[in-house]
């Protein structure tokens, strides 16, 4: 047990709805606060002088902070592709010269070029690369990170990727998702549905047996799998006990409707989602996870986050960090920029990278600073929480605690 503080402000993100628009004056704040921790979890929060007195009376150690600090819940990135080898700088240069994502893929770039490099890498190499990227994110306050496979596209290489994610040496929590249905591999001799059946019968049982992931994702798009193919695959995956996630409505529509039909936890991307589908999403329990990093990387419009929120959707914001379409990887910066262009309140932006992102991962023990939750905390060197979004991601945490333990942090 220990007491951490004092904090100039503690922004709890508690007592807020999971869905719909938010106002900044709904945010709960504790001034000159402290956080009492026991066994990785928060057990009490309040004014620091009162908690300090209690700590002295009960011989509870105090981890004192210095200077002005604003504490918020550790950030959550609900959609990344951190596990990869190689670079796609060449693809990026081609996009800057005017070629489209699909044109580059047809020329041998795109996902397939990363697949070839990732297949060449050893399990240890992939694990080290994944940990390096995860630790960079952790130093920026991201305590929980979803990580997809999807650059192996064979049973053997997808398992290698999932093992690399599991073995990655990081204090961050990595939540693995099997994205073997990223695209039908170019070296597969058969139809899309035949490839998907192979995943179902040869890969997913091993994923369950080796406890590598409980989530599956599929890219529903012209260059990957159509709605009918994805529906067949996801129904079989659901019958095996997997939670469902969909890459949908990035370039063409259909993925969001499929997500609602099948009861997926989230649909991710939504750059081209239409008005009718937005209205339906507002009536559903599907989380809409928007990915501003992909818009920045591809030079395309942001997903209509304002419309989604105003329709009552649960909106999460994730980085989509990957080597091709979203090479930036800075969750806070991307969320802040999305807020500028989509006119999101600070409360909505912060909700999208904390407790609403936790909902996208089906996690209920983080994203809010409250009793019983994990002591995942990011503390920023300022005296007003608004500085965090105002600085558009340039302000980084001075300290980060994962399950109450301060991480090693490069100043």
- What pLDDT digit, counting tens, does each position of 192-230 carry? 999 999 999 999 999 999 999 999 999 999 889 999 999
Distances (CA, A) of 253 to 142, 184, 221, 249, 321: 31, 20, 8, 4, 22
Q: What is the pLDDT, as a whole number, of residue 409?
A: 54
Beta bridge mates, 76 = 144
pLDDT in the model for residue 411 = 42
This prediction's pTM: 0.97
Q: How far is CA 326 from CA 81, 90, 323, 371, in A?
A: 9, 14, 6, 36
Instruction: List Cβ neighbours of 2 (8 Å cut-off, separation of 6 or more).
Output: 36, 37, 60, 61, 62, 63, 404
pLDDT, tens digit, 9 for 90 and up, residues 262-321: 999 999 999 999 999 999 999 999 999 999 999 999 999 999 999 999 999 999 999 999
Nearest CA-CA partner of 225 in 263, 187, 179, 262: 179
3-state secondary structure of 103: helix
Give the torsion sign (CA, 221, 96, 326, 24): negative
Residues of the chain with pLDDT under 70: 409-411
At 106 the pLDDT is 81
């Amino acid at each position: 047990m220990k007491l951490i503080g004092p904090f100039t402000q503690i922004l709890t993100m508690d007592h807020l709805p999971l869905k719909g628009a938010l106002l900044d004056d709904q945010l709960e704040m504790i001034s000159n606060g402290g956080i009492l921790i026991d066994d990785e979890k928060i057990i009490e929060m309040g004014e620091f002088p009162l908690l300090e007195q209690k700590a002295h009376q009960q011989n509870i150690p105090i981890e004192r902070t210095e200077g002005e600090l604003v504490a918020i819940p550790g950030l959550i990135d609900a959609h990344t592709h951190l596990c990869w080898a190689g670079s796609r700088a060449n693809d990026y240069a081609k996009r800057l010269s005017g070629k489209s994502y699909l044109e580059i893929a047809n020329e041998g770039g795109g996902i397939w070029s990363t697949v070839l490099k990732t297949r060449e890498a050893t399990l240890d190499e992939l694990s080290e690369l994944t940990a390096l990227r995860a630790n960079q994110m952790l130093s920026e306050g991201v305590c929980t990170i979803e990580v997809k496979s999807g650059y192996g596209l064979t049973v053997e290489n997808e398992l290698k990727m999932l093992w690399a994610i599991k073995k990655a040496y990081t204090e961050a929590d990595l939540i693995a998702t099997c994205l073997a249905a990223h695209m039908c591999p170019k070296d597969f001799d058969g139809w899309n549905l035949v490839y998907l059946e192979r995943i179902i019968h040869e890969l997913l049982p091993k994923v369950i047996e080796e406890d590598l992931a409980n989530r599956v994702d599929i890219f529903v798009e012209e260059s990957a799998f159509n709605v009918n193919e994805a529906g067949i695959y996801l129904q079989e995956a659901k019958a095996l006990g997997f939670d469902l996630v969909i890459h949908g409505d990035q370039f063409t529509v259909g993925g969001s409707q499929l997500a609602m039909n099948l009861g997926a936890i989230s649909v991710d991307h939504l750059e081209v989602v239409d008005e009718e589908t937005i209205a339906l999403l507002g009536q559903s329990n599907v989380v809409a996870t928007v990915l501003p990093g992909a818009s920045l990387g591809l030079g395309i419009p942001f997903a209509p986050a304002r419309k989604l929120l105003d329709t009552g959707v649960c909106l999460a914001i994730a980085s989509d960090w990957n080597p091709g379409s979203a090479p930036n990887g800075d969750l806070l910066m991307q969320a802040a920029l999305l807020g500028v262009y989509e006119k999101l309140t600070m409360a909505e932006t912060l909700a999208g990278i904390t407790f609403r992102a936790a909902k996208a991962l089906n996690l209920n023990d983080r994203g809010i600073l409250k009793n019983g939750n994990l002591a995942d905390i990011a503390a920023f060197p300022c005296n007003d929480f608004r500085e965090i979004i105002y600085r558009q991601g340039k302000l980084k945490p001075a300290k980060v605690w994962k399950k109450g333990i301060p991480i090693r942090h490069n100043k």
